[in-house]
Amino acid sequence: MQLTRPGRALLFTRHPVLPGFTLSFGLSVLFVSLVILLPLTALLLHASDMSWAEYRSIILDDRVVATYRITVIAAFWASMINAVLGLLFAWVLVRYRFPGRSLMDALMDLPFALPTAVAGITLTTLFAANGWLGRWFDMAGIQIAYAFPGIIIAMSFTSLPFVVRALQPVLEDIGPEYEEAAHTLGASSRQAFWHVVLPQLRPALITGTSLAFIRSLGEFGAIIFIAGNIPFETEVTSLMIYVRIQEYDTPAATAIASVVLLASLVLLFVVQLWQGRFLKRIRGG
Amino acid sequence: MFNQRRFAFAAAGLLALAFSGAAQAQQTLLNVSYDIARELFAAINPKFQQHWLEETGERVTINQSHGGTSRQAQAIMQGLRADLVTFNQVTDIDALRQRGFVADDWQERLPNNASPFYSTTAFLVRKGNPKNIQSWDDLIREDVRIVFPNPRTSGNGRYTYLAAWLAAHQRHDGDDAAIRADVRQFLRNVAVFDTGGRGATVTFAERNIGDVLISFESEVNNIRKEYGEGDYEVVVPPVSIMAEFPVAVVDRVANAQGTAELASAYLNYLYSTPIQTLLTEFNYRVHDEAVVKATADQFPPVELLRVEDILGTWEEVQDAHFGRNGILDQLQARR
């Protein structure tokens, strides 16, 4: 039984699952335009009022460049932490059954559900020099809240779900039989993990970590509470955008925002391309 | 978060308007104000309502909206229908004036530069004043850590920065290089730049960060009350800044809504003796001579320096100090 007409198959090769494809496709495009493309255009238009030299001087201002550095380095460490912790959490959640598992599973989404400002305030309370956790670090002479480590902690909190949720379905697919096969062939647990499981997880892990990284670049709410916001030390790019708006300097704010936007877009495309290539390879395309 | 609140206020105002149209001609005012004035205007509003009822027999509804004043000014530019503004600095009303929301002569329309009350910046230190902080030059010592809100995001923080500047100006008799060196050191001593006044308070009092919190004298006294009078002391430096709290009718909106007369009556009422007395209860300084005499013990003497006398108009100050790559940016630049 042939459901797709040959003419359509030229453009859309997949078998349609939803009925009324043209309508749903049109609605999707409309929605994407309204919610994503229109604001994007507005942003770029706003920034396009200025000359190229002006634009350059705004986005390459010493203090702004310092915020890029701080943001990117903190986001890097936050996503590294999340890559390790997220893998651990996903592993525990998929492979083991224990009381409170569904609660822990639900907790993984908390950073998405919570307003980031709440996260910022809570983390600051915890990690301040007189907080429950902060006091122990303080004794060791490590300052977390109002210092660089605070930014990393805030970023890893708000972006953890990306890694966990990217890994979970893949882990569920793999199942323990791969490891068991490896064991019967004489591999140790460590070898089985490094040579059998991890390669399967790698694409999901990289995607999740990259998404966590991208998200961390733009994080604002959680960070401004915990960072201390000292120029050149703990000022992140999103705060710089906010500061320029407070100065009624909307063009400068949009210029800096466009840099963040561009960086995020490029990273997303890279992840997407890489993922596509990988999928092609494993499907033998 | 703040926008939502503002939206709620605007919606409430609209609803009130709609209902008043149906029932009786009842007027509504929206007073858009700075963050920490919520309790103050909540105390003033019933008094004005009573006063207006006695004067004209009309009942008025007064809605309040509070937030950082720069953000509030932006909200008005973007369509928040404020009848009047009660801000904590001239710059933000000036921004409204430049865009035609407020008349050019707004500062001449009411006494004392349209500022019914004023305050100054003062210090809150920990019990016993362990670092012995008495004046602005103590704050540039290497061993002192300061907390005050970010001058980029808070009017309060801007006053603190300017106060440090004016004090240095007096100390060095206007020597620009020496002033810059002092203010640079002052900024270097900052432990945390919170984005607003209340955030700085939490950092200082609850997180136990820093040796001194700088804020408005009024606010510093309230914080001390709030967080335990035994744990903190208020230090009013011998020299500080004149911090005016300017008010204005937002003419464009008030004229359109027919509330101009009511709004200016409200602002005038802020100068009346009962309100001036009420203001001192909130630790604001006022000009009413009788009230000043009656509350003399409450306010230590301080020499108040005016920004306009030393640095020029607020517009010039805004450009020179707070603009992109202005003096503040230069002083905070990598050393």
Dump the DSSP string for A97-127.
--TTHHHHHHHTTHHHHS-HHHHHHHHHHHH
For residue B13, what pLDDT is reported?
Answer: 54
Q: Does B192 touch chain A (CB under 8 A)?
A: yes
| Interchain CB contact of B155 with A (< 8 Å) | no
Which of the pair, A106 or A40, is modelled with greater confidence? Answer: A106
pLDDT of residue B148 exceeding 90: yes
Neighbouring CB atoms inside 10 A of B143's CB total: 8
- A126-171: pLDDT as tens digits: 999 888 999 999 999 999 999 999 999 999 999 999 999 999 999 9
Rounded Cα gap, residues A220 and A260, in angstroms: 12
pLDDT of A247 reads: 79
**Is this model's pTM higher than 0.90 or not?**
no
Closest A-chain CA to B322: A247
Confidence band of A78 (pLDDT split at 50, 70, 90): very high
Burial environment of residue A71 by CB neighbours within 10 A (0 to 12, 13 to 18, 19 or more): buried
Q: How confident is the model over B300-329, as a mean pLDDT?
A: 91
pLDDT reading at A8 higher than 90: no
Question: Is pLDDT above 80 for B8?
Answer: no
pLDDT value at residue B16: 52
> Closest partner residue to B332 among A130, A231, A244, by Cβ?
A231
From chain A, pick out residues whose CB is under 8 angstroms from the CB of B199: 225
Q: What angle do CA A246, A250, A254 make, to 5 degrees?
A: 120
Q: List chain A residues with CB under 8 Å of B71.
A: 246
Pairing of strands B117-119, B285-286: antiparallel
B70, B192, B325 member nearest A228 (Cβ): B192
A40 or B15: which leads in pLDDT: A40
- Taking the C-alpha atoms of residue B153 and residue A241, their distance in angstroms, rounded to an integer, is 11
Quickly list H helices, chain B: 2-23, 38-56, 69-77, 90-98, 106-109, 111-114, 155-171, 176-188, 197-205, 217-227, 251-257, 260-269, 273-281, 289-294, 307-311, 314-317, 327-332
- On the question of pLDDT at B211 being above 80, the answer is yes
**Which has more pLDDT, B299 or A40?**
B299
Mean pLDDT taken over chain B: 89
State the complex-level ipTM: 0.74
Provide mean pLDDT across the span A100-114. Answer: 92
Task: Measure the CA–CA gap between B17 and A283, rounded to whole angstroms.
Answer: 65
Interface contact B153-A252, CB threshold 8 A: no
